[in-house]
Amino acid sequence: MKILSEIIASFFSKFTVSVYLFIITLNSIWASPETSFNVKAYGAKGDGSTLDTNAINNTIKAASQAGGGTVYFPAGTYLSYSIRLESHIAIYLDQGATIMGATPSGEIGYDAPEPALNDKFQDFGHSHWHNSLIWGENLEDISILGPGIIHGKGLSRGGPYKAPIGNKAIALKLCRNVILKDFTILYGGHFGILATGVDNLTIDNLKIDTNRDGIDIDCCKNVRISNCSVNSPWDDGICLKSSFALGYVRPTENVTITNCSVSGFDRGTFYNGTYLRNEAHLVPDKEGPTGRIKFGTESNGGFKNITISNCVFEYCRGLALETVDGGLLEDVNITNITMRDVINSPIFLRLGSRMRAPDGTPVGALRRVNISNINVYNADSRFATLISGVPNHPIEDIRLSNISIWYRALDSLETNIQQEVPEFEKAYPEPQKFGILPVYGFFIRHAKNIELHNVNLYLLSEEKRPAIMLTDIQNMKMRNLNLPENQKSGKLILKDVNELSIKDSKPFKDLEIQKMTTKTY
């Protein structure tokens, strides 16, 4: 009997302790600080007509003072000027929620562009961040999430402007541990996203339909861009840069871009699903829709350790890798790319010497690039695939493999074909600047250690120009290169070529050339 009493007493003792601990835990949870901050609780109306700037920024301050949390936007349209991010804050845009960039009125508008650390070597848009719809500087652990929309209706797409004009949807400077995920940007101004000096940046599942650049990654490290669709007919879609905007050289490095699409449909018609092609004449440089993936033009700090895979280009310019301001572009791997209706060169590699950089900066380098598994249909043959360094500064160690390109042939009435292609060493790097090239397939100049493996060229109609021109080449290998039968001219032009090897290629016999000044095959 005594033993049974002890067992019962022990059970109730343990039960009482368990209940007590459970109550303490509940009290701890009930007493914990708020972690979700609804902007409507801080005065935001979300009615599309009331200016909600102060309410939104007050909500962010409240979350920051509580140690961090989620600033929640329920369904509604929140008209706003500059929204100032804080560390340890997540902005969450629920389905049906839109942050709408307001149109400045008199002296009221967006934050003023802060004094630039350096604005000599890049344009105004790259040199300022505060004049934006959403901006943050020197922050950590920030996110913008959710299926809602950021609409830059009141933003400018240009500059330079003083306050109260804003020209970017999202601008981040010297931040780390950043996540941008799931939302849509419409009409993002000069930049949908400008990230400068941002480390550990994840951009995933965004839809962007904008009136200039979509995503600009400038002087950033450890960047992951995935599952994004960017339509940007008037400028580049996903663009890596390494400007001097921070006041010092900093490379863009350790970047992956995967499972993305870029296009140049008329503004707004990607988002509404009509995919129109009527506004090509409105593109500022008059050279057709842009919308591509590009490295450059700003390239002081260079690029290294970059991988691009599983991406789609449609009705836009081709892939462009450029370094023209002294930076090193090296160690790049690009694979599994499909393109359709390409407006200029499907592949453009350019090492130039524009040298918009501090005095004494040497010419950069472009080297160790592997491009494979590329399929291009209906490419513009006027500019071919263009790979060009400058005299005494060759592009080096480039391997192109498993590539098939269907070129639309040059109009038979076209007469302004370049017989001698200018160097344009100091010019803005764009394929059209070189004019219509004397070949339709590959124009390669000032290059060293180049390989073409399993490359197939096709013509969609008759073409009178040769397929390939090689100029100032040192050590080039062609293996299993196949050219079309409906080409009515010579196939290959050589100028100052040393160590050329061609094997298993049609219509060529196997060739081993040690030195050739001029010859056409």
Tell me which of 96-105, 278-287, 404-413 is least confident: 404-413
Per-residue pLDDT at 161: 80
Per-residue pLDDT at 23: 45
Q: What is the pLDDT of residues 78-107, one digit of tens each?
A: 999 999 999 999 999 999 999 999 999 999
Burial class (CB in 10 A: 0-12, 13-18, 19+), 7: exposed
Coil, strand or helix: which one is 14? helix
Give the number of other Cβ atoms within 10 Å of residue 259's Cβ.
16
Per-residue pLDDT at 34: 77
Tell me which of 26-35, 146-155, 499-508 is least confident: 26-35
pLDDT at 14 over 90: no
Tell me which of 243-247, 266-270, 408-412 is least confident: 408-412
Which of 384, 506, 494, 481 has its CA nearest to residue 438? 384
pLDDT at 516 over 80: yes
Return the HEC string of 419-464: CCCCCCCCCCCCHHHHCECCCCCEEEEEEEEEEEEEEEEEECCCEC
State the sign of the Cα–Cα–Cα–Cα dihedral 357, 360, 361, 363. positive
pLDDT at 132 over 50: yes
pLDDT band (50, 70, 90) for residue 2 = very low
Q: What is the pLDDT of residues 216-248, one digit of tens each?
A: 999 999 999 999 999 999 999 999 999 999 999
For every residue of 18-66, DSSP letters joined together read HHHHHHHHHHHHHHSPP-EEEGGGGT---EEEEE-HHHHHHHHHHHHHT
Question: Please, how many CA atoms are within 13 Å of residue 336, restricted to the half-sphere of its CB?
Answer: 10
Percent of the chain with pLDDT over 90: 85
What token pair was written down for 386?
């263009």
Tell me which of 25-29, 242-246, 256-260 is least confident: 25-29
**φ and ψ at residue 420, rounded to 5 degrees:** -120, 115
Q: What is the mean pLDDT of the chain?
A: 92
- pTM for this one? 0.92
pLDDT at 424 over 70: yes
pLDDT band (50, 70, 90) for residue 485 = confident
Per-residue pLDDT at 28: 43
pLDDT at 31 over 70: no
Per-residue pLDDT at 9: 47
Amino acid, res. 498: N
pLDDT band (50, 70, 90) for residue 462 = confident
Domains in the chain (CATH in brackets) are: 36-317 (2.160.20.10)
Helix H or strand E encompassing 7? helix 2-31
Per-residue pLDDT at 21: 44
Cα 477 from chain centre: 31
pLDDT at 270 over 60: yes
